[in-house]
Structure 1
Amino acid sequence: MIGKEEITALLKQYEAGACSPEQKALLEKWFAERQASSGWRWSSEEERLLVQRLMRTHIEDQIFKKKPEKRNTGIFTLRKMAVAASLLLCCMAAVWIFRMNGADKEVKRYYTEKAVKPGSKAARLTLSDGSEITLDDADTGMLFNKGGIKVSKLANGQLLYEAADPPFQNRNNTLSIPRGGQYRITLPDGTVVWLNSATSLTWPTAFTGKERVVTLSGEAYFDVAKNSEQPFRVRAGEAEVLATGTSFNISAYEDEDQVSTTLVEGGVNVTGPNGMVSLRPGQQATIFSGNNQMQKKDVDTDQALAWLQGNFLFEDQDIRSIMRNLARWYNLEISYEGKPNPMKFGGTYSRSKGLEELLKHLESLSGMRFSINNNKVTVLM
């Protein structure tokens, strides 16, 4: 078994960027084993996170690529991020405008069963008159202009949604994103929303009441237009998030056992079945579906926002949690064989890369094996 003196020496080499690929793999395996070992105790949570962050930062040109450069402050806005050409945020949005009974089921079928090549801009726009537009084939310009509603496709692929005040008819609209997709839309009030794969967002054609209310299933980042007279409320699973003008991420996938809200800028109130908490930037509120309890803690916002920068960022996650993330992005059906594996993993991986490479690396760390047959992956534990 590798000793602490050897680990200390390797970590110093690691920080200096002098480790060989074999040494890097050895350190990653060591860290994963320590996290899974009931006999190992870090002197503090800060020490554990420091070592993990150190390792994550200095892996270059490997399967777990270098972590995005740390910002000077923990607070930033997507307006600033948009300036960086390296960020893959100029994506299209898909709007699903429904009028018929049972539309919710159709939306869910679209974003859970429809799959595209990871990172693709394939999406579908269903207009209020029932007509449909395939957005990856749609030309730039006006897509819809009727009843006070305008939908335009901009040159960068983003959808701009505009409504007259007041609209001719105030119906609900749902933007649905298939597996493998990631899109952006500007709502009628100027709020910009980035949506992750297998996600849907529902909002009215115009925000005419005392609040601006939207409903989310999946994951999205909100850059809310400021309006203290008309607060912005997101309903996501068991959570409701209230803000006047702020930036935050919500993860509320139906196949997860929790809803997490991570605040980047401003302030929000998160309400669950058993109470309410207020967040400061750099804090996260999580509501657990099993008992509806809410947990509030300080977090590294990079983890919650990694998907916006085109990465998976796994931190202390077991194999089932990791595979649920991969299933949504690569359109996979996952099954398991063998006894449950308690190991947890950490690292950053580009979502633009292939699945096989990542699975091979997980095999080297865990001893598990993965069998791939088309879009079906069996985890041999």
Structure 2
Amino acid sequence: MGAKKYPVCIYRKQAGYMQVDKYKNYTPTAFLKDRDFLRWQLFNNKEDALFWNDVIEKNPGLRLLIEEAIILYKENIRFNDFNMSDPEISECIISLQNQIRHKKKKRNSKRIVLGISAIAACIAIIISLPLLFNKDNDVQDISTFARAIPDNNDLYSSDTKLIVSENNTVILNNSESTIQYEEDGIKADDNHILKEESAPYNQLITPYGKRSVITFSDGTKAWVNAGSKLVYPAEFSKGKREIYVDGEIYIEVSEDKKRPFIIKTRQMDIEVLGTKFNVSAYETDKINSVVLLSGSVSISSNTRKKDIILKPDQMYSGNENSHTVQSVDASIYILWTQGLYQFESEELANIVTRLERYYGIRIECDPDISGLKCSGKLDLKDNMHKLLEELSQALPITYRQNTDGSYTINAIS
């Protein structure tokens, strides 16, 4: 029997549409059959948290019952594939029933346990949640999910972080970490994570001073520059492949004509089938850029009526209001993956920003000289002192290292 398709429900996001009082007579198992409760546990977003806080405030007697329901949810609802056939659903129900029976005997607990009918209802409700577990859709719009992530200054951390779920963050200490998504799990430096432990969306946070290389589940490979955040599904859907980027990556996309690869940023979407290109899209930068090495890419934006198609050795530069496309030597723009930085008539302010990110060291530049332009190549394997010395030989500037390890650049007096 083929995979069973389930209709998509419309979830009413606004708490005002929900009936808080309906939960007065709920039991823990009743909560596990409530799609709003399940959505709260699955996504744990701010809106749902506020709503359920309101439920508890208006019905204080429900607090212990809700806590019981959360415990039951975490112990028993652990599926990661809800695009299942009827026999597969039945098998999961039997498995869950056996697990719960075993836990009950082992602990001799008086805790309420899920019966087979409640489990079946839970599965049916979870499958019908909007855009959650139908693999033909993403769990949630990736841009909405990425932008809702709170900014907790992880980019200033000393370690790279791979967030595979709410309760599982893998700390990577290497200066250049390697992450690979394989059929049986996730390899991250010396760590191995089971895919069952992964949430629908994963996050890779590469702080200033660090770099990463990630191979996605489809074989697409991306080099991640310092100060970058990536959000992506642990497993791409059947219809498309999407990731969200805040920062800079060089990416080699595995060709799949049936599934376009889309990179989303704050300002633009880039769609490809199979190609090699560099994206610089730090949300703190005014200008974002795309440089194409091979293949073709289509760049779209909400502020433009027509998409822009790039050819090899072309660079797109733009913001929300304007853009340019020019011919370049594309190979220059990916030298950072080899520890080199080459620039042509680049403003000192931009050079300083790139060095700050790459090394994770703060550099204060006198605004009066920030517009000075320079051309050259820097070896990023050298220390900061040597690089600034080389810049001071090309420009009328001087520099000093401060007691806190930062640097200050001024004009020669």
TM-score under structure 1 length normalisation: 0.62
Q: CA deviation at 1:326?
A: 0.9
Give the distance between the partners of 2:264 and 2:343, measured in 1 at CA: 26
Paired residue for 1:222, among 251, 257, 263?
251
Paired residue for 2:201, among 147, 164, 172?
172
Give the distance between the partners of 1:363 and 1:141, measured in 2 at CA: 35
**Equivalent residue for 1:264?**
293
Q: Deviations over 1:207-239 (max 9, x none)?
A: 225221110010001111111111010012211
Q: Deviations over 1:103-132 (max 9, x none)?
A: 8687744542114xxxxxx52333426133
Computed over aligned residues only, the root mean square deviation of the Cα atoms, in angstroms, reads 3.3
| Structure 1: unaligned runs, 5 residues or longer | 1-97, 116-121
Q: Residues 158 and 183 of structure 1 are in contact (CA less than 8 Å); yes or no, is this contact kept in structure 2?
A: no
**Equivalent residue for 2:66?**
none
Secondary structure of the corresponding residue to residue 217 of structure 2: coil
Q: Residues 164 and 203 of structure 2 are in contact (CA less than 8 Å); yes or no, is this contact kept in structure 1?
A: no
**How many pairs are equivalent?**
266
Q: Deviations over 1:4-26 (max 9, x none)?
A: xxxxxxxxxxxxxxxxxxxxxxx
Q: Map of 1:125-204 to 2, 5 A cutoff?
A: 125-128=162-165, 130-136=167-173, 150-153=185-188, 157=189, 171-204=200-233
Q: Map of 1:309-348 to 2, 5 A cutoff?
A: 309-337=338-366, 339-340=368-369, 342-348=371-377
**Equivalent residue for 1:250?**
279
Q: Map of 1:57-76 to 2, 5 A cutoff?
A: none
Secondary structure of the corresponding residue to residue 257 of structure 2: coil
Q: Residues 111 and 179 of structure 1 are in contact (CA less than 8 Å); yes or no, is this contact kept in structure 2?
A: no
Paired residue for 1:358, among 387, 390, 393?
387
Q: CA deviation at 1:334?
A: 3.1
Q: CA deviation at 1:266?
A: 1.0
Give the distance between the partners of 1:129 and 1:149, measured in 2 at CA: 21
**Higher strand residue share:** 1
**Equivalent residue for 1:212?**
241
Give the distance between the partners of 2:216 and 2:181, measured in 1 at CA: 15
Letter in 1 for 2:229: S
**Equivalent residue for 1:286?**
317
**Equivalent residue for 1:378?**
408
Q: Residues 159 and 185 of structure 1 are in contact (CA less than 8 Å); yes or no, is this contact kept in structure 2?
A: no
Letter in 1 for 2:329: D
Q: Map of 1:91-130 to 2, 5 A cutoff?
A: 100-101=44-45, 108-115=151-158, 122-128=159-165, 130=167
Specify which structure has the bigger relative contact order, considering alpha-carbon pairs within 8 angstroms and separated by 6 or more residues: 1
Give the distance between the partners of 1:342 and 1:189, measured in 2 at CA: 43
Give the distance between the partners of 1:168 and 1:131, measured in 2 at CA: 8
Secondary structure of the corresponding residue to residue 233 of structure 1: strand
Q: Residues 211 and 226 of structure 2 are in contact (CA less than 8 Å); yes or no, is this contact kept in structure 1?
A: yes
Letter in 2 for 1:375: G
Q: Deviations over 1:231-252 (max 9, x none)?
A: 0100122111000111111001
Q: CA deviation at 1:371?
A: 2.3
Q: Map of 1:74-85 to 2, 5 A cutoff?
A: none
Q: For the structure 1 residues 161 and 245, does the alpha-carbon distance in structure 2 shift closer, same or farther, using more than 3 Å as the test?
A: farther
**Equivalent residue for 2:308?**
277
Secondary structure of the corresponding residue to residue 165 of structure 2: coil
Q: For the structure 1 residues 319 and 248, does the alpha-carbon distance in structure 2 shift closer, same or farther, using more than 3 Å as the test?
A: same
Higher-Rg structure is 2
Secondary structure of the corresponding residue to residue 308 of structure 2: strand
Q: Deviations over 1:264-316 (max 9, x none)?
A: 11111111322321111111111134xx2121111111221010111111221
Letter in 2 for 1:308: T
Give the distance between the partners of 1:320 and 1:354, measured in 2 at CA: 19
Which consecutive segments of 4 or more residues in structure 1 shift more than 4 A?
A: 98-108, 140-145, 157-163, 167-170
**Alignment identity in percent?**
23
**Equivalent residue for 2:104?**
none
Secondary structure of the corresponding residue to residue 339 of structure 1: helix
Q: Residues 158 and 185 of structure 1 are in contact (CA less than 8 Å); yes or no, is this contact kept in structure 2?
A: no
Q: CA deviation at 1:143?
A: 11
Q: Residues 172 and 203 of structure 1 are in contact (CA less than 8 Å); yes or no, is this contact kept in structure 2?
A: yes
Q: For the structure 1 residues 170 and 227, does the alpha-carbon distance in structure 2 shift closer, same or farther, using more than 3 Å as the test?
A: farther
